[in-house]
Amino acid sequence: MADLLIPDDSVMQKLGEVFNRDMVEFALQKTYSFAKLMSYYRCAMMEIETKFNVLNEEFSLMFDRQPINSIKTRLKNPISIREKLIRRGYEMSVESIEEHINDVAGIRVICSFLDDVYMLAEALKKQDDIEVITEKDYIKKPKANGYRSLHLIVSVPIFLQQEKRVMKAEIQLRTIAMDSWASLEHQLHYKKDNDFDTLMEAELKYCADLSAELDARMDLLRTEVYQGRQGEETTGIDILQAVAGKFTDSDID
Ligand code: GTP
Ligand code: MG
Q: Does residue 171 or residue 233 have the better pLDDT?
A: 171
Q: Is residue 197 part of a domain?
A: yes
Listed residues: CB within 5 A of ion ligand 2: 103
Q: Is residue 129 part of a domain?
A: yes
Choose the final residue of a domain: 176, 203, 228: 176
**223 C-beta closer than 6 A to ligand 1:** no
CA of 106 from ligand 1 middle (Å) equals 11
Backbone angles phi, psi at 70, to 5 degrees: -165, 160
CATH number at residue 68: 3.30.460.10
Residues 167 and 199 grouped into a single domain:
no
Q: Is residue 162 part of a domain?
A: yes
β-bridge partners, 126:
none
CB 125 within 8 A of CB 150: no
Residues 138 and 206 grouped into a single domain:
no
Mean pLDDT of 149-160: 98
Q: DSSP secondary structure string, 123-162? A: HHHTSTT-EEEEEEETTTS--TT----EEEEEEEEEE-SS
Residues 6+ apart with CB under 8 A from 19: 27
Check residue 252 and give its pLDDT: 58
CA-nearest residue, atom 23 of ligand 1: 147
CA of 103 from ligand 2 middle (Å) equals 6
Choose the final residue of a domain: 136, 153, 176: 176
Q: How many domains does the chain have?
A: 2
**25 C-beta closer than 6 A to ligand 1:** no
Check residue 230 and give its pLDDT: 55
Whole domain around residue 198: which residue ranges? 189-250
Mean pLDDT of 110-135: 97
pLDDT in tens, 13-32: 777 777 777 777 778 888 89
Choose the final residue of a domain: 176, 197, 221: 176
